[in-house]
Amino acid sequence: LPPKDEPKDETEEMVLRLQKEAEVKPYERMTLKELNEAEDDFDEDDMKALEMYRQQRLQEWKILQKRQKYGDLREISGEQYVKEVTNAQKDVWVVIHLYRSSIPMCLLVNQHLSLLARKFPEIKFIKAIVNSCIQNYHDRCLPTIFVYRNGQIKGRFIGVTECGGTNLKLEELEWKLAQVGAIETDLEESPKQNITDMMMSSVRSVGITMSLGDVDQYRSVA
C-alpha cells in the first residue's frame, strides 16, 4: 500500500504561504493611490514594470466604472426625457418603460426591470409615468418599453402581448432585451420556447394516454 500522506503542520503551511507571497512584487498588491505614493521606492526596472502595471490597473478601473455606472431603475419626468434618453451618453443603451401605476402589468414590468438593472449595471434603465411624456396615451398600449442607443430607437414593445403577456417572467424580458441588442445575456434560448415545448409535450402525452384508453376500452368491449 502507498504510504499515507502525513498531515501538514500549520506552521509549515503558513511559512510556505508567506514565501509564496514574498515572490510577488509589492506593487502587485497595491491600489492606484498606493502605487503613486510609492514611486520613489522602486528602481528603474521596477519603474518600467510599475508603469505597465499601473496602466493595467487603470484600465481595469475604467472598465469597472463603466459597468457600474447605473445599477438601478430610475424614475424621470417627461421634461427629462430628451436629456436622459434621446441625448444619453454615446453608445449607452437606454431602456425606458412608460407606465401607469393602476395597470398591474406595468407594475410587474417595473419589478423585472429593477432586477435587470442590478444584473446589467452598464445599461441605463429608466421608467416614467406615461402622462408626463405622452398625453392621452391609451391604456391598451401599456406597458410600453422603448430601447434607445445614440438617440435612435433600436427596439420597442407596445402593449401586454408584445411585452410578454400578463404572466411575463424575468428571463423572458431579459431575452427580449437581448434580442434587440441591449444586453448580453447568458440565456442560450428563449425561455418562452421552453414553456411552449413543455405545453406541447404535455398535450402529446395526454393525447397518447387518451388513445391508449380508447384501445383498452375497445378491448374490454370486444
**Alpha-carbon distances, residue 63 vs 95, 115, 135 (angstroms):** 21, 22, 40
Rounded distance, CA 183 to CA 185, Å? 6
How far, in Å, are 8, 111, 126 from residue 23 at the CA level?
22, 49, 48
pLDDT of residue 24: 46
Looking at residue 177, its amino acid is L
Is residue 70 within 8 A of residue 117, CB to CB? The reply is yes
Q: Residue 153, Cα to own-chain centre: how many angstroms?
A: 20
The pLDDT value recorded for residue 44 is 66
Q: What are the pLDDT digits (tens) for 56-106?
A: 777 776 666 565 578 899 999 999 999 999 999 999 999 999 999 999 999
| CB atoms inside a 10 Å sphere around CB 39 | 13
pLDDT in tens, 171-204: 999 999 999 999 999 998 888 765 555 545 555 5
Collapsed DSSP state (helix, strand, coil) of residue 68: coil
Q: Which CATH superfamily is domain 74-187 in?
A: Glutaredoxin (3.40.30.10)
More confident: 11 or 197: 11
Contacts of residue 72, defined as CB under 8 A and 6 or more positions apart, other chains included, come to: 114, 117, 118, 125
pTM > 0.75: yes or no: no
Task: Measure the CA–CA gap between 162 and 144, rounded to whole angstroms.
Answer: 9
- CA dihedral 169→171→172→178, nearest 10 degrees, is 150
Percent of the chain surpassing pLDDT 90: 50
Query: Which pLDDT belongs to residue 83?
Result: 95
Rounded average pLDDT over 4-28? 58
- Cα distance between residue 107 and residue 63, in whole Å: 32
Binning pLDDT at 50, 70 and 90, where does residue 143 land?
A: very high
pLDDT in the model for residue 58: 74
**Whether the Cβ atoms of residue 136 and residue 85 lie closer than 8 Å to each other:** no
Residue boundaries of the structural domains of the chain: 10-67, 74-187
In this predicted model, which residue has the larger pLDDT, 218 or 18? Answer: 18
